[in-house]
Amino acid sequence: MRKEEYGLATIGFLLLSLHFPPYFISFLAASAIGGLGYLLKSLNEKERNELVKFEREFRKGYHLEQRGELAEAISIYEALEEKYPRFAYIAKERIEYLKALRLRPTFATPEPDTWGEGEDNEMSPL
């Protein structure tokens, strides 16, 4: 591919990506084999429309994630795996990430009135 053709292809991929919000573009770029450009280039118009529909439903799970409702988000992603098999790998990666996130230990932050107890200095925690 010549330099000019590559530049036009890049512009084309960027225009195709305008259908999607930035968070979804980053998921696609990270999970698509060969990268985002390859994914968008390999899809025909019907498949691109299917990807748009997939993203609309994926967004519901993403919003649940942002509110901390991980179990509900996982159930949405699992339904997407069955409904959109071509893009199931995107939902599967997200499910695996959320399950790993739920298994991480959480550490409680001490209450501000206990900061510095047992220490010789009177420094503020801020």
Region 1-11: what's the mean pLDDT?
51
Using the predicted structure, report yes or no on whether residue 76 has a pLDDT greater than 90.
yes
Enter the tokens of residue 17: 């990506």
Is there a contact between 82 and 54 (Cβ–Cβ < 8 Å)? Answer: no
Of 96 and 15, more confident: 96
Q: How far is CA 42 from CA 39, 79, 90, in A?
A: 5, 24, 16
Classify each residue of 12-51 as buried b or exposed e, where b means 16 or more C-beta atoms within 10 Å of its C-beta: ebeebbeebeeebbebbeebbeeebbebbeebeeeeeebb
Query: Hey, what amino acid is at 100?
Result: A
Containing H/E element for 10? helix 3-17
- C-alpha distances (whole Å) from 83 to each of 8, 57, 58, 98 are 33, 10, 11, 20
Q: Which residue has the higher pLDDT, 29 or 84?
A: 84
pLDDT, tens digit, for every residue of 36-75?
666 767 778 898 889 889 999 999 999 999 998 999 999 9
